Amino acid sequence: MAFISLQGVSYTYSGRKEPAVRNISLNFGQVEKIAITGLNGSGKSTLAKLILGLLKPQNGEIILDGRPVGKYSLVEVGEKLGYVLQNPSQMMFNTSVYNEIAFGLKWRGKSKNEVHHLCKRYLDLFDLWDLRGELPFNLSEGQKQLVALSAVLALQPRYLILDEPTKSIDTFRKKKLKDILQEIWRQGTGIMVISHDIEFVAGFNGRRIHMAQGEVVEDAGRYKD
Amino acid sequence: MQVDIRTKLLIVAIFSVLALVYQDPRILGIILLLNLLTVTLFRISFNIFRGFKKFIYMYAMLMIIQSFFVKSGEPLIKLGNTYLLTTGGIFYGISIILRFLILVGSGLILVDCNTSELLLALVKLRIPYEIVFMIQMGIRFIPVFINELQNIFSGIQLRGVDLRKVYKRKVLRVYISIFSPLIYSVWLKAEKLSILLELRGFRKFPTRTYYRDISLKKLDYVVISLSLIVTVVLVYVLRGL
């Protein structure tokens, strides 16, 4: 059974005539590695928000782990899916980089030692440990992106949705991110990357879905039940 | 009915002042009726009032709290020497609710106004452009602020944290820890905006011109005169109550 299943999903933003996503039917497996590509405004981010239940489809249904997404609370969705927004600033709400990573871990009942260990591990991944005392808002866009990524990775979700994860990061860290994603995928985490970074997607070696004007125009390497 | 925004501002000012001057629920009831009539004349939807059903318990609490502090009237429910509900409390509670509804109704009159027209109207009322611009930015920042807040709460939940299940004292700590960076982020946005304004030559010259213009028409003079006459008559008639 597919982990995420979209059946005839359409969504139109209020005040717009054209749907952002139209009649999309897709199945994603639990351990699939997917890259969703497309030009700006092709509906990629809207698709992610629909999967997360942040937007409710006007038509069709989205099934997450056997249940319609609408039946889950956002907290329950968060327990199943890790999501990094296109704009990382929107995910920052703590007074230090360390607290940003520790936040979810603490509230999920991890012990002090575990929290510290995981914070160190995931901040070290992107060489951010030295910035742990900094206010997240004062970081560069690329650093914010990596902090947001680390905060989500530290929660070790079953499935990861990354919206434009390479938007502001340098070539060196881009390569590092690719390696890290490859590693966590090998460990059994499903990954969906939404990106128009052709170079990054090309080396991603997974199923590739291309979107245009809210529709899927290419699906290479379809998931089979 | 299409009138100039300054006419609407005058009507809003009249209703707001009347709501604050009078305390008697009967008078406030009359003012609310006139307010709703005005809203109807401007063909504005009353949908916003539907949301007030949610506050019904708050209204009830308001009456009880008023009963604690306002010792006038007859006690209706008494616990030992403490008055839980008095007619005076109900009286003042209803007054506050009516005042609130009048103020919301007055705000509704401006709901369909174009922001740039509103600002132009304020400039025409001789309010310094810098202050008008600050108001414009304030209006612009409300949705930004709400959006930031929504994103933060979505972000918290998507990290699997259910604030409803967290112990209340800790929730307060979470809210405090969220609000300081939130205010800081809005402050950063404002700072960036001010830099952008300077770069675009804001206040480089002492005067500025406007592409759009607004002017009072015959209908505006009629509405303004009628509003003032009705207000004077109302104040005169109600002075005995």
How large is the ipTM? 0.77
Establish if B138 touches chain A: CB-CB under 8 angstroms: no
pLDDT in tens, B200-221: 888 788 777 888 888 889 999 9
Query: Do B44 and B107 lie in a common domain?
Result: yes
> Distance between CA B182 and CA A89 in Å, rounded?
10
User: Positive or negative CA dihedral for B68, B73, B79, B85?
Assistant: negative
| Residues composing chain B | 241
B149, B158, B163, best to mutate vs chain A, most A CBs in 10 Å: B158
Give the model's pLDDT for residue B241. Answer: 65
The encoded tokens of residue A107 equal 């509230």
Query: Do B19 and B107 lie in a common domain?
Result: yes
Query: Do B94 and B158 lie in a common domain?
Result: no
Give the model's pLDDT for residue A222. Answer: 58
- Residue A192's alpha-carbon distances to A218, B50, B133, in angstroms, are 16, 41, 44
> Distance between CA B108 and CA B102 in Å, rounded?
10
CB atoms within 10 A of CB A27: 17
Q: Which of B155, B177, B180 has its CB closest to that of A91?
A: B155
A74, A96, A141, A156, best to mutate vs chain B, most B CBs in 10 Å: A74
Query: Do B144 and B88 lie in a common domain?
Result: no
B155 and A155 in contact by Cβ < 8 A? no
Establish if B166 touches chain A: CB-CB under 8 angstroms: yes
Q: How confident is the model at residue B168 (pLDDT cuts 50, 70, 90)?
A: low
| Distance in angstroms between the alpha carbons of the first and the last residue of chain A | 6
A108 and B160 in contact by Cβ < 8 A? yes
> Distance between CA A201 and CA A169 in Å, rounded?
15
Conformational region of residue A186, where left means phi above 0, alpha means psi within -120 to 50, and beta covers everything else: alpha
Query: Do B38 and B143 lie in a common domain?
Result: no
A91 and B182 in contact by Cβ < 8 A? no
Q: Which residue of B has its CA nearest to A136?
A: B181
Q: How confident is the model at residue B17 (pLDDT cuts 50, 70, 90)?
A: very high
A33: closest CA among A162, A169, A121, A155? A162
Query: Do B107 and B141 lie in a common domain?
Result: no
pLDDT in tens, B23-51: 888 899 999 999 999 988 888 877 766 76
Q: How confident is the model at residue B167 (pLDDT cuts 50, 70, 90)?
A: low
The encoded tokens of residue A207 equal 């199923």
> Distance between CA A32 and CA A189 in Å, rounded?
8
Establish if B193 touches chain A: CB-CB under 8 angstroms: no
Query: Do B35 and B131 lie in a common domain?
Result: no
| Domains identified in chain B, total number | 2
Give the model's pLDDT for residue B186. Answer: 79
Give the model's pLDDT for residue B107. Answer: 85
Give the model's pLDDT for residue B229. Answer: 94
Give the model's pLDDT for residue B192. Answer: 86
Query: Do B200 and B225 lie in a common domain?
Result: no
**What mean pLDDT, rounded, does chain B reach?**
82
> Distance between CA A39 and CA B110 in Å, rounded?
40
C-beta of residue B102 within 8 angstroms of C-beta of residue B15 = yes
Give the model's pLDDT for residue A9. Answer: 96
The encoded tokens of residue B117 equal 């027209």
> Distance between CA B23 and CA A20 in Å, rounded?
52
Query: Do B3 and B101 lie in a common domain?
Result: yes
Write the burial class of residue A31 (CB in 10 Å: 0-12 exposed, 13-18 middle, 19+ buried). Answer: middle
Q: Which residue of B has its CA nearest to A104?
A: B159
Q: How confident is the model at residue B174 (pLDDT cuts 50, 70, 90)?
A: confident
Give the model's pLDDT for residue A225. Answer: 46
Interface of A with B (CB under 8 A): 52, 54, 73-75, 77-79, 81-83, 85, 89-95, 99, 103-104, 107-108, 135-137, 151-152, 155
Q: Which residue of A has its CA nearest to B177?
A: A94
CB atoms within 10 A of CB A120: 15
C-beta of residue A157 within 8 angstroms of C-beta of residue A104 = no
Query: Do B105 and B149 lie in a common domain?
Result: no
> Distance between CA A192 and CA A42 in Å, rounded?
16
> Distance between CA B117 and CA B119 in Å, rounded?
5
Query: Do B74 and B148 lie in a common domain?
Result: no
Q: What is the pLDDT along chain A (225 residues), one digit of tens a residue?
A: 789 999 999 999 988 889 999 999 999 998 899 999 999 889 999 999 999 998 999 999 999 999 999 999 888 898 899 998 888 777 788 889 999 999 888 888 889 999 999 999 999 988 899 999 998 888 888 888 899 999 999 998 999 999 998 888 888 888 888 888 888 899 889 999 999 888 888 877 789 999 999 999 989 865 554
Q: What is the DSSP string of A121-182?
A: HHHHHTT-GGGTTS-GGGS-HHHHHHHHHHHHHTT--SEEEEESTTTT--HHHHHHHHHHHH
B114: closest CA among B122, B103, B126? B122
User: Which residues in chain A have Cβ-Cβ distances shorter than 8 Å to B188?
Assistant: 137
Query: Do B6 and B94 lie in a common domain?
Result: yes
pLDDT in tens, B114-164: 888 888 888 888 888 888 888 888 887 888 788 878 888 888 888 877 777
| Structural domain span for residue B140 | 115-210
Q: Which domains does chain A have, with CATH numbers?
A: 4-220 (3.40.50.300)
- CA of A195 to nearest chain B CA: how many angstroms apart? 21
Angle made by CA atoms A208, A214, A219, in degrees to the nearest 5 = 20
Phi, psi dihedral angles at B118 (to 5 degrees): -60, -45
Q: What is the DSSP string of A202-219?
A: HTT-SEEEEEETTEEEEE
